[in-house]
Structures are given as C-alpha cells and as structure tokens.
Amino acid sequence: MKKILFVSVAALVLAAGCSSEQPAKTSAETTPAASSAPSETPKATPEATPKPSEAPKAKDGEYTAGDFKITGVSVKESAGMWMVTAKVQNAGDKDIQAAMLSAVLYDKDEKRLGIAQGGIDGIKKGESKTIQFISTDKLDGYKKIEFQVDTSI
C-alpha cells in the first residue's frame, strides 16, 4: 500500500513538474543535436550568502534540504533529457520510507531555468544514496542550484 501511495505521489509531482512557466518549445528546439556525446556542465557551486527564502546550504558544495545533506552534484544532458545526480544522506534522526525532492536551477541573472525531480525509497538514518533528478527543461548555462523536499514519509 505504501509503495502504491509513493508511486501515486511521485507521478503527481512529476506531472506537476512537467508544466513549466516557460513557453512551449518547437520540435527544432527540443530535438537533440546530431552529436551522440552528452554535453556536461560544470558542477554546482553554492552561493556564499543564501536568501531567506532559500533552503540553507553548507559550505564546499554541500547543500541541505529538510533532513537531507546533498553533495557531489553534477548536471548533464543526454538525448534531450537533463540529469542532476547527487549523493543524498539522511541527516535526520529517523528513517525515511520515501521522499520526493526537487533541484531548481537558475542562470547568472537568477532567472529560473527549470526544475529536475527525483525520488528516494527507504533511506535509513545516517544512510546515503545516489539520486538522479530528471528534467526535460533546458538547464545548460546554470549558475546556481537549490534543493527542496517536496514530500517525505
């Protein structure tokens, strides 16, 4: 029953995340380039002074969102899909059955480029797992990334 609930919540969150504030793209804009090699952008670098509305971030490429510590962030594009990969640690005081997280990426002018979403199933207190956040938004040229917990049980 819990897995069905998690899958239902995950599908709902992903469906909501697919509706972007950006205008619809033409097929020419969404078709990947002829090159089969995936392009890779630099690793995320946290801002020195977060805004009050942002999730707090640790130093040296570490981020926090809810009870999660997030490290080792990389962003790459492959076949028209963008993937944000990160190591996520349950830094809270209890085991988590399931959680949905989002990575929000911004350009140099703080304009939101898009959102990548990912989920994690069964992470014990102190345990770390690698998550892939997935997006169809065009995320190249990002300069800032923030993480948030959308739901956790």
What confidence score (pLDDT) does residue 60 get? 66
Pick the closest to residue 147 from 76, 78, 47 (CA basis). 47
Average pLDDT, whole number, for the chain?
A: 74
* DSSP structure string for the chain: -HHHHHHHHHHHHHHHHHS-SSPPPPHHHHSPPS--SPPBPPPP---SS--TTSPPB-STT-EEETTEEEEEEEEEEETTEEEEEEEEEE-SSS-EEEEEEEEEEE-TTS-EEEEEEEEEEEE-TT-EEEEEEEE-S--TT--EEEEEEEEE-
Select the more confidently predicted residue: 100 or 140: 100
Residue 40 has pLDDT above 70, yes or no: no
Mean predicted confidence (pLDDT) in 23-30 = 36
Residue 19 has pLDDT above 50, yes or no: no
Mean predicted confidence (pLDDT) in 81-104 = 97
What confidence score (pLDDT) does residue 59 get? 52
pLDDT in tens, 106-136: 999 999 999 999 999 999 999 999 999 999 9
Band the pLDDT of 61: cuts 50, 70, 90.
confident
Select the more confidently predicted residue: 16 or 109: 109
CA–CA dist 104, 113 (Å, integer): 8
Band the pLDDT of 37: cuts 50, 70, 90.
very low
CB distance 111 to 105 below 8 Å: no
Pick the closest to residue 73 from 153, 130, 152, 139 (CA basis). 130
pTM above 0.75, yes or no: no
Beta pairing class for 128-135 and 81-90 = antiparallel
What confidence score (pLDDT) does residue 132 get? 96
Residue 50 has pLDDT above 70, yes or no: no
